[in-house]
């Protein structure tokens, strides 16, 4: 499997949302399929937000492409809302993936947004610790906000949350969040960012510029292996060379 080195991420640029979602689905299937070929189970940490919706729908449309019953699902972060709320990251995955793929309920590791945030973080940290005792996450998929945040880790002067999961405050609604920490997110065999839209171009350019990447929170997630960035043309607009596929 190709991957960029930790200090030189691999970047692939796609013309639009469909080709981006197709490439992302391929990445997910290869990473998880490869893991299932080697072990009895595979683990995937997935993001919320709007960008991954098309990816999830595409995966749901080809259920035979993977033995989904052996996949463990975790979330990068959650908004502190009820699971039925349209703002819930769990709800996005429930409606697009869980409703359509044969995922095993006991392998779906939901972050409990309806609980007091510190309690939800404590419970999730224990669940993630148990998973990481078995080995790194096979795939961590992350989005990027226009301000450079990823998961619910926001840029700024505050301390970097430690442990494996933390209750945090976002600078915009929904403010109360629980997020995996950089240490947890970095514990992976494969790290992929999926980013689309012109409003992300400046954050992407900073994240991929060695002189500026410390300004975006993605810099705090130091993976063991390389990082792959899957971008649409608009999110890549601030990059100097054309890398479109
Ligand atoms: C969330 C996320 C978050 C997201 C980015 C990008 O709960 O909002 O997990 O980190 O990935 O904000 O979101 P969009 O895809 O909606 O731009």
Q: Report the chain (245 residues): mean pLDDT per 10 consecutive residues.
A: 61 97 98 98 97 98 98 98 97 97 98 98 98 98 97 90 96 96 97 98 95 90 88 95 57
> Rounded to whole angstroms, how far apart are CA atoms 81 and 87?
7
49 CB within 6 A, ligand 1: yes
- Whole-number pLDDT of residue 110: 97
Mutate to test the pocket of ligand 1, among 20, 48, 198 (most ligand atoms within 8 A of CB): 48
Nearest CA to ligand 1 atom 13: 49
* Ligand 1 centroid distance, CA of 6 (Å): 23
**The pLDDT value given to residue 159:** 85
How high is the pLDDT of residue 243?
A: 58
Contact 92, 119 (CB under 8 A): no
Q: Are the beta carbons of 113 and 82 closer than 8 angstroms?
A: yes
What is the pLDDT at residue 1?
A: 41
**According to the model, what pLDDT value does residue 2 have?**
42
Residue 24 token pair: 């992302």
Pure H helices in the chain: 17-38, 53-60, 89-93, 117-134, 182-185, 201-207
Sign of CA dihedral 112, 102, 22, 187: positive
The reply to whether ligand 1 has any atom less than 6 angstroms from the CB of 151 is yes
């Amino acid at each position: 499997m190709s991957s960029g080195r930790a200090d030189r991420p691999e970047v692939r640029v796609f013309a639009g949302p469909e080709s981006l979602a197709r490439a992302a689905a391929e990445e997910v299937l290869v990473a998880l399929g490869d893991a299932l070929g080697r072990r009895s189970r595979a683990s995937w940490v997935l993001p919320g937000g709007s960008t991954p919706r098309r990816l999830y729908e595409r995966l749901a449309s080809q259920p035979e492409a993977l033995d989904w019953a052996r996949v463990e699902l975790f979330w990068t972060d959650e908004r502190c809302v009820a699971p039925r709320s349209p703002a819930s990251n769990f709800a996005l995955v429930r409606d697009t993936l869980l409703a359509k793929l044969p995922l095993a309920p006991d392998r779906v590791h939901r972050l409990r947004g309806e609980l007091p945030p510190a309690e939800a973080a404590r419970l999730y940290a224990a669940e993630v610790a148990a998973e990481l005792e078995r080995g790194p996450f096979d795939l961590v998929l992350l989005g990027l906000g226009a301000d450079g945040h990823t998961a619910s880790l926001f840029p700024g002067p505050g301390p970097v949350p430690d442990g494996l999961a933390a209750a945090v405050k976002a600078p915009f609604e929904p403010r109360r969040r629980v997020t995996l920490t950089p240490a947890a997110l970095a514990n992976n065999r494969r790290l992929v960012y999926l980013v689309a839209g012109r409003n992300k171009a400046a954050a992407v350019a900073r994240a991929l510029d060695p002189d500026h990447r410390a300004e975006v929170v993605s810099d705090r997630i130091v993976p063991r292996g390389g990082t792959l960035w899957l971008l649409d043309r608009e999110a890549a607009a601030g990059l100097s060379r054309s890398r479109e596929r």
